[in-house]
Amino acid sequence: MKYIIVLGDGMADEPLAELGGRTPLEYAEKPNMDRIAREGRCGMLRTVPEGFEPGSDIANLSILGYDPHTAYTGRGPLEAASMGITLRDGEMAYRCNLVTIRDGVMEDFNAGHISSAEGAELLRDLDAALGDVRVYPGVSYRNLMVVAGADGALTTPPHDIVGQPVTGYLPRGDDAGILLDCMERSREVFADHPVNRRRLQEGKAPATDVWPWSGGRRPFLAPFREKYGLAGAVISAVDLLSGIARLAGMEVIRVPGATGFLDTDYEAKARYAVDALDRLDFVYMHVEAPDEAGHMGSVEEKVRAIERLDEAVGIILDRPETIVAVLPDHPTPIRIKTHTADPIPFAVLGKGKDGVVAFSEREAAKGSLGLMQAPDLLTLLFSR
């Protein structure tokens, strides 16, 4: 038997007046996800333990069976692992967004979804100006900062404060002075940078600052194969997921056309996932697009992302002798444009059948699997 999880990041939501009181999952045309729910079993999953921020780092670690209480040190070191950066003793890695701040307000947490090439050009010049602190370009606005001799800082994800003054959310704690200095230097380097001049001429948002957040030291994850006795892989365009995979000894499958945004190639991810199951036992296929639409506050784009993901699910359902689960990692409600810690719906095909007729938040709550804790999900999937 083979196993696959299809994860639509941030896919869960709240009922919306503009959708007639339905959630995007209830409104979207998604016959393949509905088939999984109708022919399988459903439930609700708590992916964010009490006391943790509702981020994709915590939620995806939990879904893959790793307890955040012991496995989580911060988002930065997970992304460092994906980028092949080995953290030395005393070093901390911070996630480092390129953002747009105007008149002291967080206007855009991703600098208009700046391209990877533009981001790399900006960070190259910033790195030269920072001295001991190093910055590493990643995908689009998602980059990394490594601080030596670090002790940590209290930070805020920039996507949580869009439209708000940043003053009350600046770094605090031991590393605050270093991080604030880096942010100030970024403003100086980026102010009249050729990349930003071009973006302004094209009517795009400039990257005005870097915003470091969620720092941590290198964590330890038990090898996935030793934990479950199965060979697994992760498909994602996001460094966070690839980093978790590398630290867990899982294969990272790169898919041409996977962007981590709304324009990602959903069907290519599904084809690569199906092909990988010819040689592996388990594939975790992560799609970021619904989360990006939630952060944008776009109902239309979120529904479209769900529907396009559903088409990819159809490719996976064609593979025989495969247990398939579909779920988000956390809600990203359109109303607030950021994550919540509410339980999420999940459906599993190949583990019996209950009376649920469609895949959605309200339907899954009626499922026979009830409310489960995320670290128990893979145990359910892999049980004989």
User: Which CATH number applies to 2-72+220-382?
Assistant: 3.40.720.10
The residue behind tokens 């930003």 is 196
The letter for the amino acid at 350 is G
How confident is the model over 275-287, as a mean pLDDT? 98
Radius of gyration of the chain from Cα atoms?
20
- Which tokens is 309 given? 């993901």
Q: What percent of the chain has pLDDT over 70?
A: 100
Q: 115 is written with which tokens?
A: 């391209």
pLDDT value for 214: 95
For the beta carbon of residue 266, count every other beta carbon within 10 angstroms.
24
- Secondary structure E strands in the chain: 2-8, 41-46, 92-102, 105-108, 134-139, 142-147, 209-216, 232-235, 251-253, 282-287, 322-327, 344-349, 371-373
Q: Closest Cα to residue 158, out of 150, 166, 146, 167?
A: 166
**Encoding tokens for residue 52?**
């943790």
- pLDDT tens per residue, range 166-204: 999 999 999 999 999 999 999 999 999 999 999 999 999
> Is 270's pLDDT higher than 90?
yes
pLDDT attached to residue 285 = 98
Q: Is the pLDDT of residue 58 over 90?
A: yes
Confidence of residue 309 (pLDDT cuts 50, 70, 90): very high
Q: What percent of the chain lies above the pLDDT cut of 90?
A: 97
The counts of H helices and E strands in the chain are 15, 13
Task: Inform me whether the pLDDT recorded for 230 exceeds 90.
Answer: yes
pTM of the full predicted structure? 0.87
**How much is the average pLDDT of 85-110?**
96
Helix, strand or coil, per DSSP, at residue 296: helix
Assign 131 a pLDDT band (cuts: 50, 70, 90): confident
Cα torsion 42, 8, 95, 68 to 10°: value is 10
Predicted pLDDT at 154: 96
Give me the residue spans of the domains in the chain.
2-72+220-382, 82-216
Residue 282 CB: number of other CB atoms within 10 A? 24
Partners of 371 in beta bridges: 44
pLDDT at 303 over 90: yes
pLDDT (0 to 100) of residue 277:
97
Task: State pLDDT tens for residues 248-257.
Answer: 999 999 999 9
More confident residue, 88 or 194: 194
- Burial (CB count <10 Å: 0-12, 13-18, 19+), residue 347: buried
- State yes or no: pLDDT of 384 exceeds 90: no
Q: What is the pLDDT of the chain when averaged over all its residues? A: 96
User: Rounded to the nearest 5°, which phi and psi values hold at 49?
Assistant: -65, 155
Residue 322: what pLDDT? 97
Write phi, then psi, for 151 (nearest 5 degrees): -125, -5
